[in-house]
Each structure stands twice: as C-alpha cells, then as structure tokens.
Amino acid sequence: MMFRPPVVQADVVVVGAGLAGLTAAAELQARGRRPLVVEAGDRVGGRTAGHLVAGQLLDLGGAYTGVLHSEVRALADRLGIGLQPTEAPGSALFDLRGRLTRADSGHAAYSALAVGDLLELLEELSADVDPAAPGAHPNAAELDRLTVADWADQRITHPDARLFTDLLVGEMLATDTTELSLLHLLFYLRSGGGAHYLTAFSGGAQQDRFAGGAHALCERLAASLAEPPRLRTPVMRIRTHLRERLLVQGPGIAAECAQAVIAVPPGPAARIVIGPAGVGPDASRPSRSRSSGCAIKVHVVYDRPFWADAGLSGWVTADGGPVRYVTDDSAGRHGLGVLVAFLTGSCAAAYAAQPPATRRADVLSSLSRWFGAAADRPLEYVETDWRSQPFVEGCYAAVPPCGWWAETGPMAFIGRPADERIRWAGTERSPAFYGHLEGAVRSGLHAARSLLDNHRGHR
C-alpha cells in the first residue's frame, strides 16, 4: 500500500528554503501570518553553502555584496551579521594570449581604451532596456535572437575588446557568448547596476562578503521562524481545485493552505505541476525552460597568503583553461591564505568531465604558474560543482535560451502563476539584481508583500 502523509493545515506554504524563500517566510511571519517552509534538500541555504576549514567558514556558493545591495545588507544588519571587505593589496595578474603580465609591471596586458569603449557601448545599449520588462524593448525580438558572440563578431573590431566580451560574460553569467542572447546580457547589466559596478570589487558588487558566510543569513532566518523548515520534503504538485484552499503535495507532504510561495530555481520549479487534479504543468509558465549558468567554485587553502610576499593581490584573469578567474579570499581569515578559482561555461563542463585527480592537478598547475611552486602544496582543496546539486542544477543563475525573453519570458518573470493565491520568488524573479543575493531578498519581500495585499483584499 502506498504511504499517504496525513493532510496538515497551514496558513502559507513556502516551497524552498533558500534566501528568497526564507526572506518571504520571515516577512510573512513578521506581518502576522504562519508560514510553513518545505525544502527538498537536506539543508537550508539554496545556492549559499558553507564549509569549515581551520576554523574559517568558506562560501561555497553566493558570497558577495556591494554598496547598491540595500536589502540584503539591511537584512544582514538586522540579523547581526557583519561585513568583511574583500579588497586585497597588491598587483593583479593577467594571463592573456600566452603572456603573463603584472598590472604594475609598466607593460599593458590589454588595450584599456578598447575595453573601456566596449563597456561604454554595453552601457549605452542597456540603457534602453527596462529591467522589469525586457521583452517590451522595441527591438526585443532581434536582440533576443542574436547571440552575444554573433553581435561581437559584427560590432567589435579590436581583438582585446572581443576577448574581454568573452571574459566578462563568463565572469558575470557563468556561460559562453555563443549561448547567450544579447538582450539577456543587456537586461543583466541594467538589472545589476551596470558593467562597471558588476565587475568591480572596491565600490562594486564584490566589495564585501558576509562575516561567517552568506549561508548564515539563511540559517538565522530559519532559526527565527516559529516552525522550523521541513527538510527532505520535495513538492511535486500544487492543486488549485479547492475553492478556498490550495493542496501542496509531495512524497512527504500534504498541506492545505490559503496561499503559497514557490521559491526554487527555474529548473526545479518547472517540474512542479500547478492546477486542478488531472491537469499537467501550469500553462502560465513558459514552454521554453531556462538553463542555469555553469559554474564550479574551487577554494584552495594555504597556511598563509604567500603570494603577498611577491606583491601580488591573488587576483588573476586568464583566457586559457580551465581556470579563468581567481580572487583572494584571505581577508579576515586570521592569517590563513585562501584563493578562490572560478571555472565557468564550457571550461567548467570540460573540467567536470575529468577524474577528480586530474581536475585538482589542472587547477594547481595553473596556480603554480601564477604564484610559484608553493601553490602546489595547499592545506585543503574544496571543489563545488553547482550543476551537480540536484535541487539547484547550476549557478550563478538561470540563463535563458535565445528568444526566451521576446517569446515567453514576461509570462514567468516577477509576476504570478495563473492562480492569484501563488507567487514566485527567487533571484531570477527579481527585475533588480538578477542572479545576486540582493535579487533573492528583493524577490522574497515582493512575493510576501504581494500575498499580504491579496489576503487583505479577500478579507
């Protein structure tokens, strides 16, 4: 006989215990509602996670915040979580076209003028994109059919600007220019505060990280709820046939509720069937799904930041594989040296296909080229492939296929499913700071407040 969990009664069910879902739940609770949070995974945090090394918590997922990220910084302040500046003294390295160049060497690694012109061109093009409705751009269909690679081939003539087009897309969206529409890139830039802000550390989107890890935001939000999140509780269906109630169902859950928030990434969300009994997937959602960015984050930990002895910051930009970007995460680590290597797009996919020993050897070989033989002897090597996380399926955020915004995107973006008792949340549902922790918090607040307004209207 098939086990059927008893039906429980709930006020609001929040599906997903990531930052967006927990923000929504905390806001609902603060306004007098009684949220029940259910999470398919075995922990809270979503695309944030921590790992303890030598008494230091490393951010395996989302980590950074900048001066424009007002909501997540206010949340951290309310929760008593401090900020740690990420700025590292020293010179950056550029490993481009087979030549290794120090930023302070007096030799230009690339044409700053050409790259500056590229950024200005992108800023100019993105200024006409409404982040709340990218598909409403008068040339949306054309911009959305055109890949960034094809656009760059047509418009970018300087080889350094062409190279940095690829590097910027990989760094910001964890995908390749051949897989990304120009409209989505322009939307992302407009949503996130512009190319200069998005790529900067000091004064930019990576200026600070959260002391104790970004996942501490989720852990403290979860601890603040009257009813702890129910883990290992996937949701498969939300039935809407009841006149006044929804029925949220999964292998370990059957909950009747007045309203619901779906706060999981687009891939898992697309598999939740919404509608009356016997009805297939929710017709209000797009027929063309969004895939997630392909990002692997590697922490390489040393007993001290030895690269500083040579006047290096620990930051690297490279055009070869597998590692394209390295940052120093040693600040505030009580003397521990931490390098964070990012592998994105097709480089990450090729890397993930290799055996673990080969992957480690490849990364350490790159670090040794940049920082010397001492880089080959870490205390710990921690690799996080977000594509392999079953309830996440990729980072940093969803990347729509070409044509998605112009054809179907507005129907699933920031709005609501066909049933007015349900709201979406998640960083992909925010028109501001899409793909960032700030976007997740804003979407959770928006979903909660929208449901509260709807609830008051019904009452």
Q: Are 22 and 221 in contact (CB under 8 A)?
A: yes
pLDDT over 70, % of the chain:
93
Segment 183-206 shows an average pLDDT of: 94
What pLDDT score does 161 carry? 97
| DSSP one-letter code for 174 | S
The residues near 245 (Cβ < 8 Å, ≥ 6 apart) are: 256, 257, 258
Dist. CA 459–CA 456, nearest whole Å: 5
The predicted model gives 260-281 an average pLDDT of: 83
Per-residue pLDDT band for 419 (boundaries 50, 70, 90) equals confident
- The span from the CA of 250 to the CA of 6, in Å, is 12
| Dist CA 399 CA 392 (whole Å) | 13
Q: How do residues 350-385 score in pLDDT, each as one tens digit?
A: 999 999 999 999 999 999 999 999 999 999 999 999
Between 136 and 70, name the one with better pLDDT.
70
Across the chain, which distance is largest between two alpha carbons, in Å?
Answer: 75
Give the integer Cα–Cα distance in Å for 17 and 403.
Answer: 31
- Domains of the chain (ranges; CATH) run 8-47+212-289+401-458 (3.50.50.60), 111-199 (1.10.405.10)
Amino acid, single-letter form, for residue 446: H
How do residues 160-172 score in pLDDT, each as one tens digit? 999 999 999 999 9
* Spatial contact of 135 and 356, defined as CB atoms under 8 Å apart: no
**How confident is the model over 6-64, as pLDDT tens digits?**
889 999 999 999 999 999 999 999 999 999 999 999 999 999 999 999 889 999 999 99
Q: How confident is the model at residue 455 (pLDDT cuts 50, 70, 90)?
A: low
The three state secondary structure string of 369-422 is HHHCHHHHCCCEEEEEEHHHCCCCCCCCCEECCCCHHHHCHHHHCCCCCCCCCE
Q: How far apart are CA 430 and CA 448, in angstroms?
A: 13
- Cβ–Cβ contacts within 10 Å for residue 421, how many? 20
Q: Which of 54-68, 263-277, 325-339 has the lowest mean pLDDT?
A: 263-277
Q: Which of 295, 218, 185, 176 is nearest to 24 (CA)?
A: 218
* Residue 381 backbone phi and psi in degrees, to 5: -130, 115
Q: At what angle do helices 70-79 and 437-458 cross, to 10 degrees?
A: 80
**What is the per-residue pLDDT across 235-256, written as a single tens digit (0 to 9) for each?**
999 998 777 899 999 998 999 9
pLDDT digits (tens, 9 = 90+) for 138-182: 999 999 999 999 999 999 999 999 999 999 999 999 999 999 999
- pLDDT of 418 reads 65
Q: What's the pLDDT band for 87 if we cut at 50, 70, 90?
A: confident
For residues 39 and 233, is the Cβ–Cβ distance under 8 A? Answer: yes
SS3 for 57-108 is EEECCCCEECCCCHHHHHHHHHHCCCEEECCCCCEEEEEECCEEEECCCCCC
Structure tokens at 271: 């598999």
Between 459 and 295, residue with greater pLDDT? 295
The one-letter amino acid code at 183 reads L
Percentage helix, strand, coil for the chain under 3-state DSSP, each rounded to 5: 35, 20, 40
- Between 115 and 200, the more confident residue is 115
Tokens read off for 26: 């905390």
| Element housing 190 (H / E) | helix 182-192
d(CA 431, CA 168): 21
Query: What is the pTM assigned to this prediction?
Result: 0.93
Structure-token pair, residue 60: 């395996």
pLDDT of res. 67: 95
Q: How far is CA 195 from CA 117, 169, 266, in A?
A: 12, 10, 25
Instruction: Tell me: pLDDT of 289 over 80.
Output: no
Does residue 315 surpass a pLDDT of 80?
yes
Query: Could you give the CA distance from residue 412 to residue 260 in angstroms, rounded to a whole number?
Result: 16
Mean pLDDT over each residue of the chain, to the nearest integer: 91
Question: With 80 as the cut, is the pLDDT of residue 211 above it?
Answer: yes
- pLDDT at residue 417, rounded to an integer: 64
- Please check the confidence at residue 288 and state whether its pLDDT lies above 50: no
Q: Residue 326 is inside which H or E element, if any?
A: strand 325-328
